[in-house]
A and B are shown apart, each in its own frame.
Chain A
Amino acid sequence: MSATADALPKTSAPAPGRRGRRLLRGMTWVVWRQHRIVFLVFLTAAVVMSAGMAWQRSDVMEFLRHPSGTDFQEWFDSDLDGMSRILRLVPVFVGVFIGAPLIAADRERGTARLVTTQSVTRTRWLVTKAAMALLVTVVCTAPMSAAFTWWWKPVHAYFNGGNWASGAVFDATGPMPVALALFHLALGTAIGVLVRRAVPAMGLTFVCSAVLGLVWDRYRLAFGTPRTVTAPLGGSFPERPKGSVHHDSWTVDMDGKLHGSGACSHYAERTPELCRAHTGIVAKRIDYFGFDQMPGMQWAAAAVLVAVAAVVLGTALWWAARRTL
């Protein structure tokens, strides 16, 4: 047995470190090799879409040099809107396709046991996996967000009717795609750790993402304090600054108490005096977010999301490090 077997390895003696492909080493190589298809799909898609958005921007700039009223809706709105939808789906994809199987697939297949019975600790394996997933997520989402923001900024007054407070703009620009993607990555990874099976974990991550998306829609604007403008009843409606977004409408009585915007609707048809006499309401008030508030609100929201993601991911990894793999 050994006589013939001993003779064989000579043919492959210079195997270690062949060519210059030693950029990745140790655990980093193992994790990259294992996940390279998913990672490459995400990275390629990010490059293609970022380049596409940068290219589209030149069309938008051309339009701005020769503005012609309604043309924007016709020519560009759907392009920006389509890309914004994709950008808002990217975090969900990150959670479902990178996060959920990250640990779950290894536990399902038993490869977690293969890797952690080599000479590296379980903690190092988990941290390397999480770190590479985080890196790929950031490297994918940051340029896409930057490109979209660069494309959208010159026409922010036109796109989506200038409403930057809706998810279509707020969640797709600035730091938000990165923060949302990190949040979903943490969510998917944690679900994968709990569920232990890749496909159910992916499905559950998708459902959770959808539910949390609805919750997020309610709290997106909680990260800013609205400004107000008031105008006397009967006069013209209060003017908001340019680029601002309407948040809420009120009516105000003489004591400064707020009432619903419809509190005068019975009387307004006749005269403001009638309304004032019956209810004491003297003014209309509008709450709005100024365009200059947008970056502040986004960064605050992003900071909270990233903090939550860090806690969720940290807890999941700590749990995974202690469990039977």
Chain B
Amino acid sequence: MTSAIEARGLGKRYLRRWALQDCSFRIPAGVVCGLVGPNGAGKSTLLQLAGRISRPTAGSLRLLGAPAEDLSGLARIAYLAQDRPLFPRFTVEETLRLGRELNPAWDQRIAERIVRSGGLDPQACVGLLSEGQRSRVALALAFGKRPDLLLLDEPMASLDPLAAHEIGGLLMAEAAEQGTTVVMSSHQVGDVAAMCDYLVTLADGRVRLAGEIDALLSAHRIVSGVHLADGPPSWLDAHTVVETRTRGRQLTALIRVEGAIPADWQAAEPDLEEILLGCLRSPGVPSLFTATARIETGIGNGTETGIGNGIEAEEDAA
């Protein structure tokens, strides 16, 4: 399986602060990957590195199989910056012409379609548009480039619900028809759950979860049961416990399944939000990578666990 993004020991330092540190993961080609994490977790930094806006301080980054420094891949990667920079005195039409002039594989049809379905006047001055409308023009530029890898920094932010739905549909269609790999950061877990099939979670500049969303979900269970003694029940030691909560005699735990669960305990598959929140609330729990997301680095950092063969076997059987 070819990878769209392959990071090894990737780090980026701004002055004294590491925005991203020791990140090793892979995003396979053809997926729609959500990039989630709290504010300041390093999402935008990662997208900037992948968009070649900035250079890594440490480690290496490969994009679509070539090193990030390789300039031949410029036309294959599109990047939508969080602040949607556009020339304020260009008209919408001139902004699209910019895309046409600077990109060999430019697709005027799709760019115009995005602009027009937002009801934008091609002669309107970009500086006078609303934030959401500017977002739409910037998205038109990114889509019109016809990239193989589409990097979107919070694409849905500042779009109205209708526009967000439309752009979401467009993203899915692009990914399905053109095989475009999409990596989008988002704060809306709902958007990620609806659109993405792959997930990278960052916290404090490190990767916490990476892999197919289905595999990540099925690696976790929410177990609940009656527990009378103090402290967690001993059978939980066999699993990785993400977090536990007790209410009266009822104990509920989010665990990564690594063994048997007693029959008198209820086990249910969590949803994406539960995993994300649990993972972000428990920084001490090891990072989790699925087989396609894991990168074998020479510098073995012992803090990560992988989803073992059991899960892959399950997938094969399904």
Contact = CB atoms under 8 A, between A and B. Distances in A.
A113 interface: yes
A120 B102 contact: yes
Contact of A1 (B71, B74, B166): B166
A110 B102 contact: no
A16 B103 contact: no
B85 A27 contact: no
A112 B79 CA distance: 13
A29 B98 CA distance: 8
B15 to A, nearest CB: 12
A32 to B, nearest CB: 11
B85 A109 contact: yes
B117 A5 contact: yes
Contacts, number: 100
A90 to B, nearest CB: 25
Interface size class of B (residues with CB under 8 A): 35 or more
Interface stretch (B46-54, B218-226, B243-251, B292-300): B46-54
A118 B99 contact: yes
A15 B106 CA distance: 13
Contacts of A111: 85-87
A236 interface: no
Given A109-B85, A117-B79, A8 B117 contact: yes
B90 interface: yes
A121 B113 contact: no
A106 B82 CA distance: 16
B102 A115 contact: yes
B53 A120 contact: no
A119 B116 contact: no
Interface of A: 1-2, 4-6, 8-9, 12, 15-16, 25-27, 29-30, 33-34, 109-121, 322, 324-325
Nearest to B51: A117
Contacts of B52: 116-117
A320 to B, nearest CB: 13
Contacts of B53: 113, 116-117, 324-325
A72 B143 CA distance: 68
B100 A16 contact: yes
A119 B113 CA distance: 21
Contacts of B78: 117
A111 B169 CA distance: 28
A9 B116 contact: yes
A3 to B, nearest CB: 11
Given A5-B117, A8-B117, A27-B101, A118 B145 contact: yes
Contact of B102 (A1, A26, A34, A322): A26
Contacts of A322: 55
Nearest to B84: A110
Contacts of B103: 118-119
Interface in B61-97: 71, 74-75, 77-79, 81, 83, 85-90, 93-94, 97
21 contacts: A1-B117, A2-B173, A9-B109, A15-B93, A16-B100, A26-B102, A27-B101, A33-B90, A33-B94, A33-B98, A109-B88, A110-B81, A110-B83, A111-B85, A111-B86, A111-B87, A114-B85, A117-B81, A119-B75, A119-B103, A119-B104
Interface in B183-212: none
A118 B113 contact: no
Interface of B: 48, 51-55, 71, 74-75, 77-79, 81, 83, 85-90, 93-94, 97-105, 108-109, 112-113, 116-117, 122, 141, 145, 165-166, 169, 173
B170 to A, nearest CB: 8
Given A29-B97, A115-B98, 4 more contacts: A1-B166, A6-B113, A117-B77, A119-B74
B101 A26 contact: yes
A33 B48 CA distance: 26
Contacts of B166: 1
A112 B99 CA distance: 14
A8 B101 CA distance: 22
Which residue, of A26, A29, A33, A322, has the highest number of chain B Cβ atoms within 10 A?
A: A33
Nearest to A24: B101
B54 A324 contact: yes
Nearest to A37: B89
Nearest to A121: B71
A119 B102 contact: yes
Nearest to B12: A324
B102 A118 contact: yes
Contacts of B169: 1-2
A96 B71 CA distance: 33
A113 B74 CA distance: 13
8 cross-chain pairs, A with B, having the tightest CB-CB distances, nearest first: A110-B85, A118-B102, A119-B75, A324-B54, A117-B79, A5-B117, A119-B103, A8-B116
